[in-house]
């Protein structure tokens, strides 16, 4: 968690990052949209890919692709090695204890569903409770609701303040019932930008012997994550939000828990012996990787982790903090603009509304100016309900964004104001 202090409200001391090399790594950033230079500020939905990632995927398919783990031929061996090298890269990236703790999935959503189905399905009974927070993405709500429907367990959500900060006392109170089987919470909220005090949240749960799952979809590309320091039981993230491809993700799980859990899906590659009478499951991590995985995607994720690690997450965090401060100050000058999510610890995204103008109209007009933002409920409808709004506009930043792009966003928003005046 070494990067966390970089997100405090203290003025950023760092001088601006020289982005020339970084931007040159991203072919798509040279695009023009509606005749205007692309200003891509929808990074919380998905980030763009550096050329090394595109090349790694292309090289896999053009020079050594084959199915993994089962072939005796050279291509299969090479593909298997490249795939498994990424597992070690992910282990090192998260500082997990062993590669047995790294499971490849389709993304955060599947990682959470895996835990809900396997861990939840085997441990949760009627009357048990799952604790989440009020600022979860739907993918950390609905899998638990499905589990509750199946088992008769109850889902409880810890509330947050108007600023978008979790009320820790309320979270702790929910943990005290003696019936909680899991606490599952988001590291960084995609709707508010709030960075939750996840280490404290894990400690509070651990003190009551409650396992924890952290939804890291929005965090791994923006701050250093150390699962052993956090001491969480599960950590989930997606490749496409960390400069890697879509359709691939990771579930970190503590080995002792993963070993005790039943398989999530059955099929090839997750078994050691199959007869019609009985099947023996493969050891970790294969037990949770049924079927042919996204081989080239996993290899692309490895290239993304190399790229990001070479840049350094402290550098990323400092630059994004500058962008957040700069954008926040500029946006607040626009009359009628309200920012939703003003937590002390905040990641580089700004969700906002403009009085009298629907966020979708904002998004459409901005698009014509070449500025890509997201408008909607951001798959976090309970957050919208908390503030009584149907949707927000959201600009979210990545390490390749510049102050000039913030200026372009602000200029385009003034245009929206003029059009609706």
Nearer to ligand 7TS, 12 or 398 (CB): 398
Q: Using an 8 Å Cβ cutoff, are 317 and 221 in contact?
A: no
Question: Strand 129-133 vs strand 154-158: parallel, antiparallel, or unpaired?
Answer: parallel
Nearer to ligand 7TS, 69 or 374 (CB): 374
Q: How far is the CB of 139 from ligand 7TS (least distance, A)?
A: 4
Contact 353, 389 (CB under 8 A): yes
Give the residue with the Cβ less far from ligand 7TS, 248 or 327.
248
Q: Which of 60, 148, 232, 379 is catalytic?
A: 379
Residue 200 half-sphere exposure toward CB, CA atoms < 13 A? 9
Minimum distance from residue 236 beta carbon to ligand 7TS (Å): 8
Contact 185, 201 (CB under 8 A): yes
For the chain, give the secondary structure using H, E and C.
CCCHHHHCCCCCCCCCCCCHHHHHCCHHHHCEECCEECEECECCCCCCCCHHHHHHHHHHHHHHCCCCCCCCCHHHHHHHHHHHHHHHHHHHHHCCCCHHHEEEECCHHHHHHHHHHHHHHHHCCCCCEEEEECCCCHHHCHHHHHHHHHHCCEEEEECECCCCCECHHHHHHHHCCCCEEEEEEECECCCCCEECCHHHHHHHHHCCCCCEEEECCCCCCCCCCCHHHHCCCEEEEEHHHCCCCCCCEEEEECHHHHHHCCCCCCCCCCEEEECCCCEEECCCCHHHCCCCCCHHHHHHHHHHHHHHHHHCHHHHHHHHHHHHHHHHHHHCCCCCEEEECCCCCECCEEEEEECCECHHHHHHHHHHCCEECEEECCCCHHHHHHHCCCCEEEEECCCCCCHHHHHHHHHHHHHHHHHCC
Quote the least distance from Cβ 105 to ligand 7TS, whole Å: 9
Torsion sign, CA atoms 232, 90, 322, 186? negative
Contact 137, 379 (CB under 8 A): yes
Asked if 232 is an active-site residue, the reply is no
Residue closer to ligand 7TS, measured from CB, 138 or 179: 138
Give contact residues for ligand 7TS (rule: CB under 6 A). Answer: 44-45, 107-109, 137, 139-140, 186, 190, 215, 217-218, 238, 374, 378-379
Least distance in Å: CB of 289 to ligand 7TS? 17
Residue 146 vs 379, nearer CB to ligand 7TS: 379
Cβ at position 44, least distance to ligand 7TS in Å: 5
Asked if residues 374 and 45 have their Cβ atoms less than 8 Å apart, the reply is: yes
Pick 191 or 354: Cβ nearer ligand 7TS: 191
Q: How far is the CB of 401 from ligand 7TS (least distance, A)?
A: 16
Closer Cβ to ligand 7TS, 79 or 140, answer by number: 140
> Quick one: 109 or 118, whose CB is closer to ligand 7TS?
109
| Rounded least distance, CB 65 to ligand 7TS, Å | 24
The least distance separating ligand 7TS from the CB of residue 390, rounded to whole angstroms, comes to 16
Active site residues: 379
């Amino acid at each position: 968690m070494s990067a966390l202090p970089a997100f405090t409200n203290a003025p950023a001391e760092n001088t601006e990052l020289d982005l020339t090399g970084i931007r040159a790594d991203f072919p798509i950033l040279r695009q023009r949209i509606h005749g205007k230079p692309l200003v891509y500020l929808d990074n919380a939905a998905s980030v763009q890919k550096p050329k090394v990632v595109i090349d790694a995927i292309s090289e896999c398919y053009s020079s050594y692709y084959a199915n993994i783990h089962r072939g005796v031929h050279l291509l299969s061996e090479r593909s298997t090695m490249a795939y498994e090298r990424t597992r070690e890269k992910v282990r090192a990236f998260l500082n997990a204890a062993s590669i047995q703790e790294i499971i490849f999935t389709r993304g955060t959503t599947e990682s959470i569903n895996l835990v809900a189905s396997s861990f939840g399905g085997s441990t949760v009974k009627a009357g048990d409770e799952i604790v989440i927070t009020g600022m979860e993405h739907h993918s950390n709500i609905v899998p638990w609701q499905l589990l509750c429907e199946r088992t008769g367990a109850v889902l409880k959500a810890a509330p947050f303040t108007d600023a978008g900060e979790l009320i820790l006392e309320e979270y702790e109170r929910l943990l005290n019932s003696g019936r909680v089987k899991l606490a599952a919470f988001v590291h960084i909220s995609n709707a508010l930008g709030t960075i939750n005090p996840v280490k404290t949240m894990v400690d509070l749960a651990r003190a009551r012997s409650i396992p924890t799952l952290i939804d890291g979809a929005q965090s791994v590309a923006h701050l250093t994550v150390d699962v052993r320091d956090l001491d969480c039981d599960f950590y989930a993230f997606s490749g496409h939000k960390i400069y890697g491809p879509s359709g691939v993700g990771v579930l970190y799980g503590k080995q002792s828990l993963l070993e005790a859990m039943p398989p999530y899906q059955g099929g090839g590659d997750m078994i050691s012996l199959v007869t019609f009478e009985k099947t023996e499951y493969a050891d970790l991590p294969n037990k949770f990787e049924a079927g042919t995985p996204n081989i080239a995607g996993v290899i692309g994720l490895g290239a993304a982790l190399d790229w990001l690690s070479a840049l350094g997450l402290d550098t990323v965090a400092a630059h994004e903090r500058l962008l957040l401060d700069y954008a926040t100050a500029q946006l607040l000058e626009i009359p009628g603009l309200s920012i939703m999510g003003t937590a002390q610890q905040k990641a580089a995204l700004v969700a906002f509304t403009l009085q009298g103008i629907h966020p979708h109209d904002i998004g459409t007009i901005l698009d014509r100016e070449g500025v890509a933002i997201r408008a909607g409920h951001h798959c976090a409808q309970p957050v919208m309900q908390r503030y009584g709004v149907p949707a927000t506009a959201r600009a979210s930043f990545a390490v390749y964004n510049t102050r000039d792009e913030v200026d372009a966003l602000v200029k385009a928003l003034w245009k929206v104001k003029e059009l609706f005046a």
